[in-house]
Amino acid sequence: MSQCRLSLESVGYRYAGGHAAVADVSLALGPGILGLLGPNGAGKSTLMRMLATMTRPSSGRITWNGTDLAAAPNALRATLGYLPQDFGVYPALSAREFLGFLAAVKGLSGPKARERVDHCLSQVGLGDAADRRLGEYSGGMRQRVGIAQALLNDPTLLIVDEPTVGLDPEERMRFRHLLTDLAGERLVILSTHIVSDVEASATALAVMSAGALRFHGTPEQLIAQADGHVWEWTIAPEHLADVRRRFTLCGSLRRPEGIRVRVLADACPHADAQAVTPELEDAYAWLTGPTADAAHARSH
């Protein structure tokens, strides 16, 4: 079994003339699926590009099985699969031709390459569509081609950056299952701003906002942080706008007797409100949303 230890020590990145897009991120990772969550602009893609050795950290260091990536990026590249956020395909080629081309770029050729291309296409469920032009593929199918190309070298580290953007719910679900199947002994890092993308599959979560790492742990540990901060009660429909203005609204459900609202608050928001068991979505909003900032400010 290949080793699979990725370590980030106080990693930071600053774009020329800009603020710190990533600041002081430390993480120790092993096999499993890490869901990297964060709102737009949190620094996820910048971090992923450093992990994929596309850019070097401005500060700190990243090691793969103990080797510093700044000094020896090839230590990782041979065993890395990367699906960037802006992955594009050649519409005139079939999936089989496209992957054959990329296999050759990666140094695979002959029957071995053909076998590998077939294997990766069937792994992502595109065996039957392999000879169709990529221009005719749906968004979800194209993203699966993106995963297939990332799998060509049977990577130990698989990095996928916002792979579900633009997919419909069915394709999104299929993509989640695919990543779960692929995990095994590898480390899969999946970035997204959609909690349900990682809810069922991630063994660990890292949450970023404004360049900083706000949480690293299991989904259960994240949920525990929101315990006692998620409330529900029923209001008259005309009070909805007021509740929305005063609290972070996580959900609302129209019922015959009124609207059942679900809000985040650090203390009981209303005489009728009851604390309810948090879901992962609530906990993520609690960690990254305005309620969290307000509660944080009050405690300092």
Ligand X SMILES: Nc1ncnc2c1ncn2[C@@H]1O[C@H](COP(=O)(O)OP(=O)(O)OP(=O)(O)O)[C@@H](O)[C@H]1O
Q: Which residues bind ligand X (CB under 6 A)?
A: 15, 18, 21, 38, 40-46, 162, 193
Compare residues 34 and 121 and give the one whose CB is closer to ligand X.
34
Pairing of strands 230-235, 274-275: antiparallel
Compare residues 52 and 230 and give the one whose CB is closer to ligand X.
52
- What is the per-residue burial (b if ≥16 Cβ within 10 Å, else e) of 6-25? bbbbebbbbeeeeebbbbeb
Of 253, 260, 250, the C-alpha closest to 282 is: 250
CB of 213 to ligand X, least distance (A): 12
Question: Token digits for 211?
Answer: 């360049």
Compare residues 45 and 143 and give the one whose CB is closer to ligand X.
45
Angle at Cα 229 formed by Cα 226 and Cα 230, nearest 5°? 95
Q: How many residues are given for the chain?
A: 300
Compare residues 81 and 163 and give the one whose CB is closer to ligand X.
163
Spatial distance between the Cα atoms of 239 and 193, rounded to a whole number of angstroms:
30
Compare residues 149 and 192 and give the one whose CB is closer to ligand X.
192
Q: Chain centroid to CA 3: how far?
A: 23
Spatial distance between the Cα atoms of 232 and 251, rounded to a whole number of angstroms:
9
CB of 87 to ligand X, least distance (A): 13
Angle at Cα 10 formed by Cα 5 and Cα 14, nearest 5°? 115
CB of 159 to ligand X, least distance (A): 12
CB of 44 to ligand X, least distance (A): 3
Q: Chain centroid to CA 201: how far?
A: 11
Of 148, 115, 109, the C-alpha closest to 129 is: 148
Compare residues 15 and 90 and give the one whose CB is closer to ligand X.
15
